[in-house]
Structure 1
C-alpha cells in the first residue's frame, strides 16, 4: 500500500467499507525496536499516515531492545537488561536513554516525510519497580500515571504522539519501562479499541502453528497450563494482551512488522495476516435448548408473517433446536440464529432464522449473531457460509461481508428445497 502504483480500486473498496467502523477510534501501535531498524519501517509509517487520513486516531509506542544491545556492543559496555523487565543499572539506563532518543528521531523523521505532525511527550509518569523477591531492580520502572488529557489535546490537534520507553518519576528522574506493558497501559488510559504490536514474528504460534485468532480465555488457559506451547517471543505480548483485554481494550493484534502492507491487511480484511486476540464479545450468546423452543417461535413469528423469514412451525424448531443459538439479556431472548451443516458437503454451512427483536434494533446485535455463527462454523471446519434472504440481503452484503452468489453453491439437498419453496431468495455466500 506504500506504493501508489500497486493500489487497486478493489483495495480501496475493501478499505472503505471498514472506515465507518473505525473512524474516530484510537489505535495504539506498538513497534518493536527491531522493526524500527527494519527496511520496512518507511512503509509502515506511510500506512500509519493512511490510517490518520481515514480519521483513525493513532498513538505510537516504540521499543529499543535491539538498539540497546547494539549500542552496548559498540561501546563495549555490559548491560543488565535489554527489554525493560529485569534489573536496569545506571549504565543500562544511560544506553536506554541514548537508544530511545535515536529511535524516536527515526520514527518522527518518517512521520514527517509523510506530512504528519508528531510529538514526543513527558506525559507518562513512572515509578520504580523497587525490590522484588529480594532483587533491587534499580532504574527499571512501571507506569504510575498517564496524562490522558495531554495526549487527547495532541490527538485533537492532529498530532501523532510518539511514546518511548523512558518515563519520569515525581522528581523528574528517568526510568526504563517495558514497551509492551507501556502500550497496554496507554490503551487502558486512552480507551483505545486496538493495540497493534508490530513484531519480527508472524504472530502467536501454538506448538509451531500460527493462530489467526484466539479468544482471551483460551490464551489465558494456555499461559497457565502450557506456556511452553506458545512461541517464546510472543509470551510477553500474550501476557500484556490478557491484561489489556481485562482492562477494557477489546482487540489486540500481533503482526509481522517486516511484511509490506501487513498493517493495512490486518486491519482492513476479515482474514488478517497475524494473530487477533479478542475478548469474549459473545458472552450473551448461548446454544439454544428445548426450553427455548416456544420463545424462538414467538420471536420469529412476526418475521415469518412479513415473509422476512422462512415459515417454521414450533414442531420444526423443536426438531432442529440443536442448530439454534440465542442472544439473551436478563434471561430474555431478544435474538436468534440457526447454523445448519450439510452431510453431503462438510465445508458448507447455512445461517438462517436470524431475527432481532425490533426494540433492540440498530445496536449491532444482528451482526454479532452472524459473526458468532461464522466463527462457530469455522471451528467446525466449514470454509464457506451461505445465507438465503428475500429482504435482508443488503444487511448481509454491506454489514456482514457476504457476496451475492449463484444458487449452484447450495448443497444438493438445500438446492432442491430452495427450488421447491418458490421464495426466489437471493443466495449469499462468505468464505471464512
Structure 2
C-alpha cells in the first residue's frame, strides 16, 4: 500500500520484457559507472543507486567511480582556500590535495550510505597505485597522479563476493602517499584492466554535442576526428569525457555512454533500450576481422581440425583450404587466430551466398564472436550483390536460428551444383536461410 499522497509510476509488463531481453547479453559482465560530483550532489542520487541495485539483481557486476569537482569547489569557498586545479588533471598543490581528500571521503561515504540503504554490499578500496604526473611542458604538477597499477585481484574478489567496489579519485604511491587522479581517466583505466563491457559516465549533461547538435550515437572514429579538429566542435564541458571515451574504446572497451545522471530512470533507459537517452560512443565491431590470404591456409586448417573430428564441420584437406582460401574471413586477437568463417557464391544463382566453416576456439565461446562473424559475412554478402544467404549445419542450427535470425528451409533452396554435393555427402545437415 502506498503512503497518502504518494504517487508511483506503474511498471508495464512491456517494460519488464524489454529489460529481460537484454539480461542474457549483459549477465555476468562488468559495467564501470562513473558518477560526476554534480550528480552525487543532485537529489536524483538515491534513484540512481536504486537503478544500480537493479543492475546487480540482474547479475551485472558494477564498479563505481566518482568525481569530486563540485564538492571541491564548495569546500574551497567554505574554507576560503583557493584551489590550483578543479579537474584533477592540472597542478594539484598541497592545499588542493588536502581539500580533495576531504571531499573524496565525504562523497564516498555519501555513496556508501545510499548503497547500504538499497541493501547492497559495498567497499571503499585502496586498489589504485599511482605515480606523480611529474613535470609536463616545464610545469611541475606536484600532487597530481596517474594510474601506475590497479589491484584487479582485490577488486574482482570484492565483485565475486557480491560487493560493489567504490573507487575514489585518489591514488596511493609506493610509500602510501596520496595523489589526486582525474576520475574520467580512472574510469577508463579500470574498464581496460577489468575488461569491462561498458563505461557509463553519469554527468550533468544530456550527452555529447557536436557543433551544437546532440548526438545519440557516435563512432569512435568520428568522435576522434572531431576532437582532433580545429575549433570547438565538442563542448568543452564534456570534452574530457569524450576524450576518455575514445581512449577506452581504442583500448578494447566495446561501448561508452554519457548520460544525464540528474534524470530519473536515465541509467536504466540508456542501458535497456535501443534508443537510449544519452550518447553512445561505439567502436568498429568488425575491426578485428580480415580476409584470409594464402599464408593463412595452414592456420585455418589447424584451427578447424578438431571441429572436423567432431563432425561439426565438413572435412577439407589442406589443399582444398588453399584452393578456396580467398573465401575465408578471420578473427584475430593480438595476431592470434580465434575464429573463421567462409563465404561462397554460385554462378547459377547470383543472388545467393553460402556461409560455412564457422568456428570459434572454445576458450572464446559466449563472447559474441560467432554472431559477429555471421553478421560480418551477411554484410559482405549483401555488399557483393546477394539478397539471400544459406547455411548448412549439423550441430549449430539452433545458433543460426535463435541467435542469428535464420529460418529452416528445404534442399530446393540450394543451387543445383550445391544440391548435388549435399545429396552425395550423406551428412544430412539442416538447411537454413536468411534474407538480406
Equivalenced residues, count: 343
- Mapped partners of 2:8, 2:226: distance in 1: 42
1:356 pairs with 2:360? no
- Mapped partners of 2:375, 2:108: distance in 1: 43
Map of 2:329 onto structure 1: 328
**In the alignment, which of 94, 97, 100 is matched to residue 98 of structure 2?**
94
Question: Contact 2:355 / 2:389 at 8 angstroms: preserved in 1?
Answer: no
How far does residue 369 in structure 1 lie from its aligned partner after superposition? 5.7
1:216 pairs with 2:220? yes
1:392-419 Cα offsets, whole Å, 9 max, x none, are xx989965799xxxxxxxxxxxxxxxxx
Structure 2: stretches of 5+ with no match in the other structure: 1-6, 292-326, 333-339, 346-350, 393-397, 407-432
Question: Contact 1:33 / 1:67 at 8 angstroms: preserved in 2?
Answer: yes
Map of 1:35 onto structure 2: 39
- Mapped partners of 1:89, 1:57: distance in 2: 36
Q: Structure 1 residues 121 and 220 mapped into 2: Cα distance closer, same or farther (>3 Å)?
A: same
Residue aligned with 1:6, SS? coil
Question: Contact 1:202 / 1:256 at 8 angstroms: preserved in 2?
Answer: yes
1:21-74 Cα offsets, whole Å, 9 max, x none, are 111111110000000011111111000000001011010000000000011111
**In the alignment, which of 106, 109, 112 is matched to residue 116 of structure 2?**
112
Residue aligned with 1:17, SS? helix
Residue aligned with 2:51, SS? helix
Q: Structure 1 residues 245 and 286 mapped into 2: Cα distance closer, same or farther (>3 Å)?
A: same
**In the alignment, which of 248, 263, 267 is matched to residue 263 of structure 1?**
267
Q: Structure 1 residues 427 and 237 mapped into 2: Cα distance closer, same or farther (>3 Å)?
A: same
1:126 pairs with 2:130? yes
Question: Contact 2:290 / 2:330 at 8 angstroms: preserved in 1?
Answer: no
Residue aligned with 1:357, SS? strand
1:6 pairs with 2:10? yes
- TM-score for both structures, normalised by structure 1: 0.71
- Mapped partners of 2:107, 2:187: distance in 1: 16
- Mapped partners of 1:51, 1:330: distance in 2: 31
Map of 2:179 onto structure 1: 175
1:240 pairs with 2:244? yes
Q: Structure 1 residues 35 and 399 mapped into 2: Cα distance closer, same or farther (>3 Å)?
A: farther
Question: Contact 2:343 / 2:377 at 8 angstroms: preserved in 1?
Answer: no
1:82 pairs with 2:66? no
How far does residue 359 in structure 1 lie from its aligned partner after superposition? 3.0
How far does residue 329 in structure 1 lie from its aligned partner after superposition? 2.5
- Mapped partners of 2:274, 2:344: distance in 1: 23
Q: Structure 1 residues 248 and 25 mapped into 2: Cα distance closer, same or farther (>3 Å)?
A: same
1:109-133 Cα offsets, whole Å, 9 max, x none, are 1100110001001110111111111
How far does residue 226 in structure 1 lie from its aligned partner after superposition? 3.7
Q: Structure 1 residues 227 and 251 mapped into 2: Cα distance closer, same or farther (>3 Å)?
A: farther
Structure 1: stretches of 5+ with no match in the other structure: 288-325, 338-351, 378-385, 403-425
Residue aligned with 2:130, SS? strand
Q: Structure 1 residues 95 and 398 mapped into 2: Cα distance closer, same or farther (>3 Å)?
A: farther
Q: Structure 1 residues 228 and 368 mapped into 2: Cα distance closer, same or farther (>3 Å)?
A: farther
- Mapped partners of 1:41, 1:109: distance in 2: 11
- TM-score for both structures, normalised by structure 2: 0.70
**Aligned Cα root-mean-square deviation (Å):** 3.5
